Chain A
Amino acid sequence: MFKKTVAALALSSAIFAGHATAADYVIDTKGQHAFVNFKISHLGYSWVWGNFEEFEGGFSFDADKPETSKVNVTLQTASVDTNNAERDKHLRSGDFLNVSEHPTATFKSTAVKPTGEGTADITGDLTLNGVTKPVVIAAKFLGEGKDPWGGYRAGFEGTTTLKLKDFDIKMDLGPASQTVDLIISVEGVRQ
């Protein structure tokens, strides 16, 4: 009786495995195969690049029905890093990210609109510096498949541009630096 149940279960999962295309992924921050980078113009003469070192999140992705995908990320604003201690200290202060009042920033997707082969516009609510506004991330699916260590992974990149004033960032850095570009790359491990 027991052996028959086990056999029936094994058979049915074998049949259904091939049809399960919707999956939940956890962004791989343990192996750090995910990056939230940004760049902003310095006086109009060069780019200042930085990233947020600490964040976590996940996404659910269905290659057959991409419009049902969802993504959720929470990042620690104090983990900002532009490779300059004095600048990073200033960024954490009330002039910019005000991390003591707003220790996290979050993105929660609300809609996904495919725009072509492997690309989509992900609309979602971005909460930054205590202000929540809808933003659109132009996303591109990079690939998916098995990894050599028994897991299954899928990866994306996404870009968007934010206006500092939209999120109540107090310090004005001049006319060339009103916006910041976000460049995100994530790899998720399927659960």
Chain B
Amino acid sequence: MQWRNSPNNYGLVSITMHWLIAIAVFGLFALGYWMVGLNYYSSWYHTAPDIHKSVGLVLLALMIFRVVWRFSSSGPAPVPGHSSWVHLATKAGHGLLYLGLFGVMVSGYLISTAEGRGIEVFGWFEVPALISSIPDQEDIAGLVHQYLAWGLVILSVLHALAALKHHFIDRDSTLVRMLGRADA
């Protein structure tokens, strides 16, 4: 398999990022959902949010790389046989996923940095607070983070269902090319 995308298939870079980020996003959602219910005396009370924030920030860096990669690569050609409204819906859905991802990560960052404190990434380095003067920053960012997280997870499930529909019902190469296995 090649690193770069080909006319029929995604390449290893795109494929790895797609599935890695998918797992990370669902993992972070589950972790976030669980950690806000922890009581003060749970041994995970500080550890779970630390992991959540660290993974989230690594993910943000990875997403930036992914956007750069996507717009500097030629993607595979659209799967043949789809109408123009399918193309439009595809672009819209994928665009919303990207926006949702960045929105969730930036809003999360804005919660913890609301009064100027940076965020430690696994104890390796600290990401400084760049914006901390928005009134009620941690509360508004918190609401945005919560709603976008749910929206993103629901949209991702729809995205997965759409891929399965293309695979099992339309029997086209939509899913397999994100596994690098579409016929050349």
Q: Which residues of A contact B (CB under 8 A)?
A: 78, 83-86, 88-89, 92, 171-174
Contacts and interface: CB of A to CB of B under 8 A. Distances in A.
10 contacts: A84-B115, A85-B111, A85-B113, A85-B138, A86-B138, A89-B111, A89-B114, A171-B39, A173-B40, A174-B40
B40 A172 contact: yes
A165 to B, nearest CB: 15
Interface in B33-50: 39-41, 49
Q: Which secondary structure dominates where chain B touches chain A?
A: loop
B139 A86 contact: no
B53 to A, nearest CB: 10
B40 A89 contact: no
Nearest to A86: B112
Interface in B122-145: 132, 136-139, 142
Given A88-B115, A89-B114, A92-B139, 10 more contacts: A78-B139, A84-B115, A84-B117, A85-B113, A85-B115, A89-B142, A171-B39, A172-B39, A172-B40, A173-B40
Interface string B16-54: 000000000000000000000001110000000100000
Contacts of A86: 49, 111-112, 138
A172 B39 CA distance: 8
Interface in B74-113: 111-113
Contact of A88 (B40, B41, B138): B138
Contact of A85 (B41, B49, B117): B117
Residue among A84, A85, A171 having the largest count of chain B Cβ atoms under 10 Å: A85
A84 to B, nearest CB: 7
